[in-house]
Amino acid sequence: MGRMADIEAEGEATAGEVPDLGQLAGLVGYALRRAQLAVFADFHRSFAPLELRPAQFSVLLMLRQTPGLRQSQVADALAIKRTNFVSLFDGLVARGLARRVPVDTDRRAVSLHLTPEGEDFAARMIAISAEHEGHLTARLGADGRAQLLALLQKLLVL
Amino acid sequence: MGRMADIEAEGEATAGEVPDLGQLAGLVGYALRRAQLAVFADFHRSFAPLELRPAQFSVLLMLRQTPGLRQSQVADALAIKRTNFVSLFDGLVARGLARRVPVDTDRRAVSLHLTPEGEDFAARMIAISAEHEGHLTARLGADGRAQLLALLQKLLVL
């Protein structure tokens, strides 16, 4: 807690010198952000053939697991703003991967489903996800991976 | 690595049910992103009195530590796009916290410095940062915090 108070200004920089990130690198928020960006960059490389972004991946995975969810359920569970979710899902519909189905018991509601094409797509997506996770596990080790997930979980209730 | 292949579609959802995030929560990229958002939310709460965003914090901390860095050095070190960096730094200049100083030996170059007001501001900022980190350490424990930083470091070279 008191470690930041120890930070002292250091000498003048010279051009070309690589700036010292030391203080920042020791801060959890900064380290998290840099790691997240590195992992998402690997995600984008891995999923380039499917032209899939992380939020789209999450929605498809969730609907594959639980067909028929309401828009608000998926948006809330994934912490996506409702308006953003609508346009994200419109994109999946336009690609023929997902569809909205009217709910008999509630005229205002729609439930969300994958199309048959979406099911095939999700299967390919999951195979690529396993490769992508494999890259991360190769860096972390299986124990390190489990440790990391447990530590990250603790940060969700700040 | 093969765990994603085990994912099977489950039953239909019913309205109001809380969707199961289980599969997503077990993926490193997803867990990282959710944790990063939770930590940044705490950052924003902590730094609301200073109206400071994480990227501005990083720039001020870096210049406090190493006065006289060039724009490209700071932008590159923090992985901020050059054009974004210019407007970010303009904002700090407009608030009287930082300034650009011509470099005698290179007519095209400027070096970046905190103003005296910026130095005072940075001192308050660092005190708040210590509080914010304290929230995280309270959740992680000191050992957990060190473990987390070490694990995150491994993900930077994917």
CATH of A52-158 given 3.30.750.24, 2.40.50.140, 1.10.10.10, 3.40.50.300: 1.10.10.10
Q: How far from the centroid of its chain's Cα atoms is residue B148's Cα?
A: 15
Percent of chain A as helix, strand, coil, to the nearest 5: 65, 10, 25
For residue B4, give the nearest of A9, A60, A112, A96 by alpha carbon.
A60
Angle at B59 between CA B134 and CA B147, to 5 degrees: 40
- The shortest C-alpha distance from A109 to chain B (Å) reads 9
Q: What percent of chain B has pLDDT over 90?
A: 78
Distance CA(A68)–CA(A54), nearest Å, equals: 21
Q: Mean pLDDT over residues B124-149, rounded?
A: 96
CB B96 within 8 A of CB B116: no
Kindly tell me if the per-residue pLDDT of A5 is higher than 80.
no
Average pLDDT value for chain A: 89
Residue B6 has pLDDT above 80, yes or no: no
What is the value of ipTM here, to two decimals?
Answer: 0.85
Q: pTM of this prediction? A: 0.85
pLDDT on residue B107? 83
Class at the top of the CATH hierarchy for domain B22-157:
mainly alpha
Distance CA B16, CA B11 (A): 15
Condensed to tens digits (0 to 9), the pLDDT of residues A114-131 reads 999 999 999 999 999 999
Residue B132: pLDDT above 70? Answer: yes
Q: Is the CB of A148 less than 8 angstroms away from the CB of B36?
A: no
pLDDT in tens, B57-94: 999 999 999 999 999 999 999 999 999 999 999 999 99
Q: CB distance B73–A111 less than 8 Å? A: no
Report yes or no: B109 and A15 within 8 Å, Cβ to Cβ.
yes
What residues does each domain of chain A span?
52-158
Residue among A17, A38, A154 whose CB faces B155 most closely? A38
Chain A, nearest residue to B131 by Cα = A1
A46: closest CA of chain B, how far (Å):
12
Chain segment A55-105, per-residue pLDDT in tens: 999 999 999 999 999 999 999 999 999 999 999 999 999 999 999 999 888
* Bridge partners (DSSP) listed for residue A102: A110
